[in-house]
Chain A
Amino acid sequence: MKKLTVTALLTALFVLALTAVAMAAETEVQVAGLKVFYGIVIAAGFGIALAAVGTGLAQGMAIKGAVEGTARNPEASGKITVTMIIGLAMIESLCIYALVVALILLYAYPMSGPIQKLVGM
Chain B
Amino acid sequence: MEHPLLFLSLLFESIGLGSFAHHYPHVLYSWLVVLLFIIVGRLAGRNVSFIPGKLQNLFEAVIDAIESFQVDMMGEEGRRYFPLIATIGLYVFVCNVLGLVPGLLSPTANINTTLSVALVTFFATHYVGIKYHGVKYVKHFMGSFLPLAPLMLPIEIISHLSRVLSLTLRLFGNIMGEDLVLAILLALAGKFFAPLPMMFLAIFTSFVQAFVFSLLAMLYIAGSIHEAH
Scoring B residues 145 to 174 as 1 if CB is less than 8 Å from chain A, else 0, what string do you get?
000000000000000000000100110111
**B88 interfacial by beta-carbon distance below 8 Å:** no
**Does B83 reach chain A (CB closer than 8 Å)?**
no
**Which of A86, A96, A107 makes the CB contact (< 8 A) with B173?**
A96
Contact A96–B170 (Cβ < 8 Å)? yes
How near does chain A come to B26, taking the closest CB pair, in angstroms?
16
In the bound complex, do residue A89 and residue B173 qualify as a contact, i.e. CB atoms below 8 Å apart?
no
Closest to A98 in B: B173
Contact B173 A85 (CB under 8 A): no
For A86, list chain B residues within 8 Å (CB): 212, 215-216, 219
B interface size (C-beta, 8 A): 18
- Residue of chain B at shortest CB distance from A89: B212
Q: How far is the CB of B171 from chain A (nearest CB, A)?
A: 9
- Name the CB-closest residue of A to B219: A86
Residues of A within 8 A of B208 (CB): 85, 89
Could you tell me the distance in whole angstroms from the C-beta of A20 to the nearest C-beta in chain B? Answer: 31
Complex alpha-carbon distance, A103 and B1, angstroms? 12
In the assembled complex, the CB of B71 is this many whole angstroms from the nearest CB of chain A, namely 14
A83 to nearest B CB, angstroms?
Answer: 10
> What per-residue 1/0 map shows which CB atoms of A87-107 lie under 8 Å from chain B?
001001100110110010001
B18 within 8 A of A: no
Tell me how far the C-beta of A86 lies from the nearest C-beta in chain B, rounded to whole angstroms. 6
Closest chain A CB from B166 CB (angstroms): 6
Interface residues on A, range: 10 to 19
B176 touches A (CB below 8 Å): yes
Query: A121 contacts the other chain (Cβ, under 8 Å)?
Result: no
List the A side residues contacting B174 at CB < 8 Å: 92, 96
Q: Is there contact, CB below 8 Å, between B176 and A103?
A: yes
Contact B211 A96 (CB under 8 A): no
Query: Given A85-B208, A89-B208, A107-B1, A100 and B215 touching (CB < 8 A)?
Result: no
Residues on A with C-beta less than 8 A from B215 are 82, 85-86
Closest Cβ of chain B to A109, distance in Å, is: 15
Contact B212 A85 (CB under 8 A): yes
CB contact between A100 and one of B172, B209, B216, B219 (< 8 Å): that residue: B172
Contact of A97 among B1, B173, B176 (CB under 8 A): B173
Q: In whole angstroms, how far apart are the Cα atoms of A99 and B170 in the complex?
A: 10
Report which B residues bind A (CB closer than 8 A).
Answer: 1, 73, 166, 169-170, 172-174, 176-177, 180, 208-209, 211-212, 215-216, 219
A–B pairs, 6, beta carbons within 8 Å: A85-B215, A86-B212, A93-B169, A93-B173, A100-B169, A103-B180
Known: A96-B173, A100-B169. 17 other contacts (CB 8 A): A85-B208, A85-B212, A85-B215, A89-B170, A89-B208, A89-B209, A89-B212, A92-B174, A93-B169, A96-B170, A96-B174, A96-B177, A97-B173, A99-B177, A100-B176, A103-B176, A107-B1
